[in-house]
Chain A
């Protein structure tokens, strides 16, 4: 602890407590570095002494991934929280990784701009959203972190500080480390600085939804919207037991929003009753509550009805409650499962056996569920991922065990 204090300053290191636990494992220390150099010193020390490091931003997705094999030091990025530059004319923002997304949005809103990512987890930081590859409803229009991140600084075990990309959107020089670190869940190194492209903040929004009586109606409605000329910023589904909704969100100048929502209403009305959604805050939260299990199912639009039927069927067979939400436009579903750990785990196993073309990942789950299933399931390219891990983190100190295949 003294050595950690020498690196980050004594007030910025403390013993780990139960509130710092990762999947029930309490770290020995929590260190809060304030610069790339301090991060480098920390990781050099950890690498030398074989200390397992778990990076933490807002801590909102710390339970994602497998239970780590070991946690010695939490590197808390809350002091890496500055927006370093907002270059409004170039639609670019540069910020340290511990900066909350909300802070960035506030900073750029003054110029009528926004970072085109919406986090379903309030309090999330840029680094955390990148590491978890978290995304929200507006990914239908703006993409995910990998589409918006144009430059990154990372610190590797051993203390190397490396950059890739830069502050111009169009740039193909060198390998794109930003893509590699997006979704790497703290297993390759520590993300310390980020550069993003921004978008203009649309002045108005309106959402319309269709109430649908069957998944097949949802599938047809979705195809008609996808084949129309509409340009929704979000295209969401919500499904409970026997009925559900397809929600189209339009964000643009007023005349466009008005015309498009009218057109959408006319398309959707062929499949069920249509109304305007006044409060869209429900779109900006995951469907599960604390203590429940949250799944992410990645499929293709044409398979959405089948996948929804399969989820409903499996949950019913195992006698648990389920709630389905997610991004219909890109066919990424978020599913909440609520029930005893045995039944939830069995449901997940059933889903994986029936959804052979899909990827079923457990995002959040209580420990007894995680003990019973592999949270990642099938992931292509596992052997290559392991080789990448060995190159970047040969000592295996970064979030050991949390990732695909126990990486």
Chain B
């Protein structure tokens, strides 16, 4: 960064000296997010405490032409909050106030650093909760959830972050702060809130979020069913959906995941080739009827043991292994890659067999733990980084798994985001025209590509170019700008 000293001085003036980190060792704290394979130390980090401070920081970046990256709790799994080396990291962890709880209108207004689980804690006494529940919900921030359009186990029935955000306050790359949406269910004009949620921090920095909260269901019933293999478990999932039942969650784990979870958190799961967790919620009468049907469907599809949670503690025990599954892999493998592909639910058995065969070919183990209800796979490719070449083989396999998802009409990411990690796969999912058209949005919001550059899109065009066959941009011809 040219004139780093001047930038640092301006930042210190904007947010106070203690909120600017310049020491390289201290900056290493922020060199990666939850995907630790990619690391970059930012030129400096700032920790604003208010929206106005965020705006001041962005304005300095704008004036100086410096790229900036926003970061919440840093739990993302796609490198979305990976810093830019010559840029500023805007850490929102100090903006963690719950600004308003509005029960009559079923809304909560929060700052971006507020942790997901705190929202539910704030409204639980009133009988409400915030539905999106990523596995990292006790740490991850709402701002990060908004960037990634985070899901979770219960989004099968209740939707993703995008279905639960009605308003945003955003600081855009030009330094303007804009209120979009609000507490109302909709507002006139283009759905800018819908566009912002899931844009992975590339369109602006969100400084205030209005969330929709929902009433706690009257009844929750949870069961764990053990099947000989994931095939039979998959059959049960199809049967449940075909019966017109929309569970709150349907989660599956294969034998290897079960083994890892057992070693790590001892949930006492039955020995099985395929474990299914099914949770229903809603009005008592409806849930009881459907819960009976789900048990019958599981049995018809070959379930041996079916465990039913009789209380909240037993439910928590069933979920414990599932929620800990990623971290538990450390018990059975020194290293692993987590993948986040999505397939149409009906392709589940086929794709799982294919993944298993691909693993065998490369002499690698793949554990599967996933949101079976919506076809969101999380294959965990296990490897040992100390064995020469194994990490490369594992990464290659993880990538090939995404291509298999695409062959079946799926997606390269269901909830983790494209970020830095998967941008190279975007051309396999989208045409050049698709990507160029998405880029038009980027150009409307951030024509200079200062806001979280280098994420989501492989090689963005310069703004001002029209989609279509590649042509050299006039700025490039004149030697003023380069495409990077």
Contact = CB atoms under 8 A, between A and B. Distances in A.
Contacts of B284: 229, 259
B346 A90 contact: yes
Contacts of A379: 187-189
B309 interface: no
Interface residues of B, number: 93
Given A180-B194, A302-B105, A382-B189, A172 B409 contact: no
A387 B413 contact: no
A170 B430 CA distance: 16
A52 B238 CA distance: 48
Interface stretch (A75-83, A153-161, A364-372): A153-161
A173 B283 contact: no
B468 A160 contact: yes
Given A161-B433, A162-B434, A200 B244 contact: yes
A164 B344 CA distance: 16
Given A160-B468, A170-B151, A183 B191 contact: yes
A112 B241 CA distance: 11
Interface stretch (B33-41, B174-182, B253-261): B174-182
A170 B344 contact: no
B324 interface: no
Contact of A133 (B176, B186, B246, B463): B186
Contacts, number: 267
Which of A133, A154, A170, A203 has the most CB atoms of chain B within a 10 A radius of its CB? A170
B285 A361 contact: no
A358 interface: yes
B333 interface: no
B7 interface: no
Contacts of B346: 87, 89-90
A260 B282 CA distance: 11
Contacts of A381: 178-180, 189-190, 192
B163 interface: yes
Contact of A173 (B179, B183, B412): B412
A171 B159 CA distance: 11
A90 B345 CA distance: 6
Interface in B348-388: 371, 374-376
Interface in B404-453: 409-418, 422, 426, 429-431, 433-438, 440-445
B444 A171 contact: no
A301 B105 contact: yes
Nearest to B374: A170
A384 B192 contact: yes
Interface centre among B186, B187, B241, B444 (most CB of A within 10 A): B186
B191 A180 contact: yes
Given A166-B409, A229-B217, A385 B190 contact: yes
B199 interface: yes
A156 B241 CA distance: 37
In the complex, which of the residues A92, A158, A162, A255 has the most CB atoms of chain B within 10 Å of its own CB atom?
A162
A301 B104 contact: yes
B1 interface: no
A231 interface: yes
B190 A184 contact: yes
A343 interface: no
Contacts of B181: 380
Contacts of A228: 215
B149 A298 contact: no
A94 B105 CA distance: 35
Contact of A302 (B104, B186, B431, B442): B104
A359 B182 CA distance: 11
B178 A170 contact: no
A163 to B, nearest CB: 5
B245 interface: yes
A96 interface: no
B433 A162 contact: yes
A387 B463 CA distance: 12
B484 to A, nearest CB: 20
Interface in A81-129: 87, 89-92, 112
B185 interface: yes
Given A143-B163, A300-B105, A403-B189, A170 B218 contact: no
B342 interface: yes
Contacts of B199: 175
B184 A358 contact: yes
Given A90-B345, A160-B436, A161-B433, A179 B191 contact: yes
A167 to B, nearest CB: 5
Contacts of B218: 229
Nearest to A143: B163
A226 B188 contact: no
Interface in A331-371: 331-332, 358-359, 361
Contact of A199 (B198, B246, B286): B246
Given A147-B159, A180-B441, A260-B283, A169 B374 contact: yes
Contacts of A139: 185
Interface in B66-107: 102-107
B159 to A, nearest CB: 7
A156 B160 contact: no
B417 A172 contact: yes
Nearest to B410: A168
B467 A156 contact: yes
Contacts of B481: none
Given A380-B189, A388-B441, A174 B426 contact: yes
Nearest to B176: A383
A301 B105 CA distance: 6
A239 interface: no
Nearest to A40: B433
Contact of A384 (B178, B184, B467): B178
Contacts of B246: 199-200
A404 B437 contact: no
Contact of B285 (A162, A167, A188, A256): A256
Contacts of A179: 162, 191, 194-195
A332 B344 contact: no
A202 B178 CA distance: 41
A175 B194 contact: no
Nearest to B244: A200
A175 B441 contact: yes
B108 interface: no
Contacts of A202: 244
Interface of B: 102-107, 127, 148-149, 151, 155, 159-160, 162-163, 172, 176, 178-192, 194-195, 198-199, 215, 217-218, 238, 241-242, 244-246, 282-286, 289-290, 342-346, 371, 374-376, 409-418, 422, 426, 429-431, 433-438, 440-445, 456, 463, 466-468
Interface of A: 87, 89-92, 112, 133, 139, 143-144, 146-147, 154, 156, 158, 160-164, 166-177, 179-180, 182-184, 188, 199-203, 223, 226-231, 252-253, 255-256, 258-260, 298-302, 330-332, 358-359, 361, 376-385, 387-388, 390-392, 403-404
A-B complex: 3 closest residue pairs judged by Cβ atoms: A179-B194, A200-B244, A256-B286
Given A172-B149, A259-B284, 17 more contacts: A90-B375, A144-B186, A158-B468, A168-B414, A172-B151, A174-B429, A175-B195, A175-B442, A175-B456, A176-B194, A231-B283, A298-B185, A300-B183, A330-B185, A378-B188, A383-B178, A385-B190
11 contacts: A90-B346, A160-B467, A161-B433, A162-B433, A170-B155, A203-B244, A227-B103, A231-B286, A377-B188, A380-B178, A404-B188
